[in-house]
Amino acid sequence: MDALIKPLRPGKPNEVKPSDAKLPETRPAELDPSEFLAAAVRPDQPRPSRAEAEQAVQTLLGYIGENPDREGLLDTPRRVVEAFDELYQGYHQCPAEVLNRTFGETAGYDDFVLVRDIEFTSQCEHHMMPFYGRAHIAYTPVERVVGLSKLARLTDIFARRLQTQEHLTAQIAAAIDEILKPRGVAVMIEAEHTCMSVRGVAKHGAMTFTSRFTGMFRDNPAEQARFLSMVRGPR
């Protein structure tokens, strides 16, 4: 005779059991290819003029309580706009063009290629304050490889835009994965954010680590571990 088991709390007729609930997606969301296959600014995109940008800087100087007409600040709006042109030049550069030229003379090389300690500086999109650190990038090529300096160049293109560290990490990995189509990509970024070290909680020296793995690095824990051990090895 089968035992009758009564539930402790009677469920509602249409109640979904936890086991029947849809599990959350565990794979990372795919990025829109337009983020890394073309320049972020289109030639026909309307933008404020340089004079309007300089006027905006004057407005901010007045907002903080300064006198924009005093001698030391007369040229500041021009200097700030010129600095913006340099700091945010990544909006006008095409990531795909950097990775398009590859080389086939690899003598059958089939292990991953790692470039570590790529120094970068970017700007936080929340406070427009700098964050800076190092990127470590590895990929396992299929027949053809890209010039090593191109991985550093790719990092700079994405870093010279308003960013979050998480998005920067994902963009670098996605661009390499989509354009080079390797067997796998591994990206780790370590950075200090001045929006946290010089304002707010003011924790100088606090480091943030982010990572993104695709292909063999995502699916093979041993390859992940080997990548991490090489990144953390003696400099």
Give catalytic residues, as residue numbers. Answer: 124-127, 165, 193, 195
As a whole number of angstroms, the distance between CA 112 and CA 187 comes to: 12
Q: Are 201 and 186 in contact (CB under 8 A)?
A: no
| Helix pair 165-180, 148-159: axis angle to 10 deg | 140
DSSP 75-135: THHHHHHHHHHHHTGGGGS-HHHHHS-EE---TT--S-EEEEEEEEEEEETTT--EEEEEE
* Helix 76-87 vs helix 50-63: crossing angle, to nearest 10: 110
The three-class DSSP label of residue 184 is: strand
